[in-house]
Amino acid sequence: MSSTMIPRSVTPESVRRHRRRLDEIHQSDVDMRQADDLETVVDNIFDFIEMPDRENYLRYGIIGFVLSLLAGVVVAYGGGSVGVAMIGLVGLVALVWIHPPIAGYIMIGTAPLIVGFSRDQVLPRLRPNEALLAVLLVVLAARWMIVSREIKLRLHRIDFVMMAVVAAGFFLPLITQVARLKPLSVDDILYALVFVKLGLLYCLVRSTITTPAQVRVALGISLLFASGLGIMGLMDSLNIAATADRLHRFFPNDGFIVDDGRGAASIGNPIGFGVYQAINALIAIAMLLGNERPRWLIGVAAVCTSLGVVGSGQIGPTLSFIVGIGALALVTRSVGRLFKMALPFIVLALIITAPLIQRRVAGFDGPGIPSATRAAIHNQPVNTQGESLYEANPGSSWDVRLYNLEMFFMPSFRDTDNVIWGVTPQARVASPREGEEFIWIESGHLWLIWSGGIPLFITWFLFIGVGIHTGRRVLRSRAGPVGIAAAATVGALAVVNTAQTFDPHMTLRGTADILYPLLALMMVGYVDHQQAWRGSRLGMIRAARNDSAALNSAEFANSAELGEHTLEVGALGEANGVVDVVASDPVVEHQSS
């Protein structure tokens, strides 16, 4: 019998060793197939649509002639600005058609630049980022119908959670509104449609960015634009070179005062801007921990985005950023290294933003306003409430938050149906005060119940829990850009859940424009990798079982032959008067008996 033994079961160490080998094979295959994303763009330009050869120049000529003719007609009849916009749109459509990942790059990079435009400011009933998303989806759908017509559904549990978010935020609130015979306005539908928009944004990035190299490009684009916005937001908060006044012409700041130390840049909302910068700062830190190059450029991006967090002038995003750094340090097991890396950035940020911090902290002087005083102010004439509240504690925005929650939102929860199914998809109520149109709900977790009731509240924490769990699993199994995106996603979910205590960041512009794409980037190739690993593990188990069965069969056959031989010898000895059967082998003993 051979001395080489085949293991009868797969040990954890062998599984880990095989898993690492699969990662190395996968990474080498990716590097061979796509060494540089720009090369892929060039290849896709030549391999247009379904043309494998590069010889058909006539088709390219016809397409170029048609596009040029269309651009000329638009410029001639559409006016200067409209013509330029249409030419840009035609070029955008052509690029996305040739190379679909460009659609994901555009939404990740340009959405924060245009999300600050309000509805009806540029387009009727739409924000420009919503129109851009619709155009990109139409182009991708048309390309699929003409080129591919193939559906490959490889869904993960996080995809089902996103479906639950859309259902709990859009379908369920509107259905329950109608079922309870409550009036359904256009604003209700528009606010509920935000969940559909975020689901489509996730699907767009999830379906177009499909390789680790493309993930690296997407993260770099996000950091590039976020760094510029971080400097712009810091200048906005300090009103350097009248930046606040100039930005307010195009992107109205949600603050009551333009020059109030709250920077918003082009996002137009200081709170959303602060969390947007915090998430991008976590991306930069994760790239540094992942040894991405060039480190000095990523370090500059980390500094700019960290300054942007402080430049928002908001306490909520700053505290959330600290929580996110802690979550990132824990999930990457690099607490000491991250502390050494972040210490110079923290000192530099404190030095640069010291005037802004001093200005913002000064607004928190004075004691809080008791609930009884707020109730007394509520009973006063409407036109004097704001002045009385300011006199009770000048400069404290927290008292305004509590006052608004107690007087305008909490009374609606006395009805049990409103707690279960929500009050309205709108995150606001009409203001009775003079000079103020709406009062916004400034508690994110309370907003979950206000907009979607208990189902949306549960779905939010399911989203956070599944996202963090999946991020940890991806980080442990994938290296490179995908692992970096997973680590940043864990930190980003910790940031958003903390910030949700103060404001509804689940759908807030700025926050949502980076959170859901980052979640999609984390999932690139993970389902295929998981299926390949499970298949290889199952193959290892089956091979081990087959080898073990073959080995047992061989052992039994050898033993049976030995037993028959022994019986023959024993019979021969007995015939000669010698009874001496040696049966030291259990199989022989069994055969002898």
User: What is the sign of the dihedral through the CA atoms of 468, 152, 48 and 103?
Assistant: negative
Tokens of 120: 């009806």
Question: In Å, how far are 87, 92, 145 from 50, measured between CA atoms?
Answer: 25, 20, 13
Please classify residue 588 by burial: count the beta carbons closer than 10 Å to its beta carbon, then call 0-12 exposed, 13-18 middle and 19+ buried.
buried
Q: Span 445-469, mean pLDDT?
A: 94
Are the C-beta atoms of 387 and 353 separated by less than 8 Å?
no
Q: What integer best gives the mean pLDDT of the chain?
A: 76
pLDDT band for 89, please (50, 70, 90 cuts). Answer: confident
Beta strands in 124-165 (DSSP E): none
- State the pLDDT at residue 584: 39
Residues 6+ apart with CB under 8 A from 268: 115, 116, 117, 118, 251, 252, 253, 254, 509
pLDDT band for 102, please (50, 70, 90 cuts). Answer: very high
Q: Span 184-206, mean pLDDT?
A: 93
Whole-angstrom Cα distance, residue 569 to residue 330? 71
Whole-angstrom Cα distance, residue 285 to residue 495? 14
Quote the crossing angle between the two packed helices 397-404 and 382-392, to the nearest 10°.
140
Range among 50-54, 116-120, 318-322 with highest mean pLDDT value: 318-322
Residue 428 DSSP symbol: E
Q: Which has the closest alpha carbon to 164: 510, 560, 461?
A: 461
**Secondary structure class of 156 (helix, strand, coil):** coil
Evaluate if residue 571 carries a pLDDT over 80. Answer: no
Whole-angstrom Cα distance, residue 104 to residue 551? 54
- State the pLDDT at residue 541: 60
Whole-angstrom Cα distance, residue 174 to residue 152? 31
- State the pLDDT at residue 358: 63
Q: Which has the closest alpha carbon to 268: 435, 511, 451, 514?
A: 511
Q: Span 582-593, mean pLDDT?
A: 39
Question: In Å, how far are 1, 31, 214, 248 from 123, measured between CA atoms?
Answer: 82, 43, 31, 18
Max Cα-Cα span within the chain: 127
- State the pLDDT at residue 2: 44
**329-344 per-position pLDDT tens digit:** 999 988 888 877 777 7
Q: Is 125 left (phi over 0), alpha (psi -120 to 50) or beta?
A: left
- State the pLDDT at residue 512: 92
Q: Span 459-482, mean pLDDT?
A: 92
Q: Which amino acid type is present at position 172? A: L
Give me the phi and psi of 591, to 5 degrees please: -65, -35
Q: Which has the closest alpha carbon to 431: 368, 385, 370?
A: 385
Q: Which has the closest alpha carbon to 166: 460, 464, 544, 547?
A: 460
Residues 6+ apart with CB under 8 A from 267: 112, 115, 116, 229, 251, 273, 276, 509, 510
Are the C-beta atoms of 225 and 129 separated by less than 8 Å?
no
- State the pLDDT at residue 5: 44
Whole-angstrom Cα distance, residue 309 to residue 271? 9
Q: Which of 12-16, 324-328, 437-441, 545-549 has the lowest mean pLDDT?
A: 545-549
pLDDT-above-70 percentage for the chain: 63
Name the residue with higher pLDDT: 24 or 461: 461
Rounded to 5°, angle at Cα 147 from 145 and 153: 70
Whole-angstrom Cα distance, residue 163 to residue 169? 10
Evaluate if residue 488 carries a pLDDT over 80. Answer: yes
pLDDT-above-90 percentage for the chain: 31
Range among 148-157, 294-303, 307-316 with highest mean pLDDT value: 294-303
**215-237 per-position pLDDT tens digit:** 999 999 999 999 999 888 888 87
Are the C-beta atoms of 272 and 313 separated by less than 8 Å?
no
Whole-angstrom Cα distance, residue 202 to residue 109? 14
- State the pLDDT at residue 586: 39
Q: Which amino acid type is present at position 221? A: I
- State the pLDDT at residue 107: 93
- State the pLDDT at residue 216: 93
Q: Span 170-185, mean pLDDT?
A: 92
Contacts 24+ apart (CB under 8 A), 400-403: 401/442, 401/443, 402/368, 402/369, 402/371, 402/374, 403/369, 403/374, 403/377, 403/378
Residues 6+ apart with CB under 8 A from 510: 112, 115, 267, 269, 272, 273, 275, 276
The residue with tokens 């030095």 is 351
The residue with tokens 């929650």 is 405
- Dihedral (C-alpha) 409, 411, 412, 417: value to the nearest 10 degrees? 140
Can you name the residues that pair with 438 across neighbouring β-strands?
430
- State the pLDDT at residue 34: 46
Whole-angstrom Cα distance, residue 192 to residue 77? 38
Rounded to 5°, angle at Cα 535 from 534 and 537: 65
Evaluate if residue 551 carries a pLDDT over 90. Answer: no
- State the pLDDT at residue 133: 93
Q: Which amino acid type is present at position 227? A: S
pLDDT band for 117, please (50, 70, 90 cuts). Answer: confident
pLDDT band for 254, please (50, 70, 90 cuts). Answer: low
Give me the phi and psi of 252, to 5 degrees please: -60, 125
Whole-angstrom Cα distance, residue 333 to residue 328? 8
Q: Which of 33-37, 174-178, 258-262, 382-386 has the lowest mean pLDDT?
A: 33-37
**395-411 per-position pLDDT tens digit:** 456 667 777 888 889 88
Name the residue with higher pLDDT: 495 or 11: 495
Whole-angstrom Cα distance, residue 16 to residue 324? 30
Range among 182-191, 245-254, 369-378 with highest mean pLDDT value: 182-191
**Secondary structure class of 434 (helix, strand, coil):** coil
- State the pLDDT at residue 328: 93
- State the pTM of this model: 0.74
Are the C-beta atoms of 263 and 236 separated by less than 8 Å?
yes
- State the pLDDT at residue 48: 39
- State the pLDDT at residue 39: 47
Evaluate if residue 3 carries a pLDDT over 50. Answer: no
Residues 6+ apart with CB under 8 A from 167: none
- Start-to-end CA span in the chain (Å): 24
Evaluate if residue 433 carries a pLDDT over 60. Answer: yes
**12-28 per-position pLDDT tens digit:** 666 666 666 666 666 55
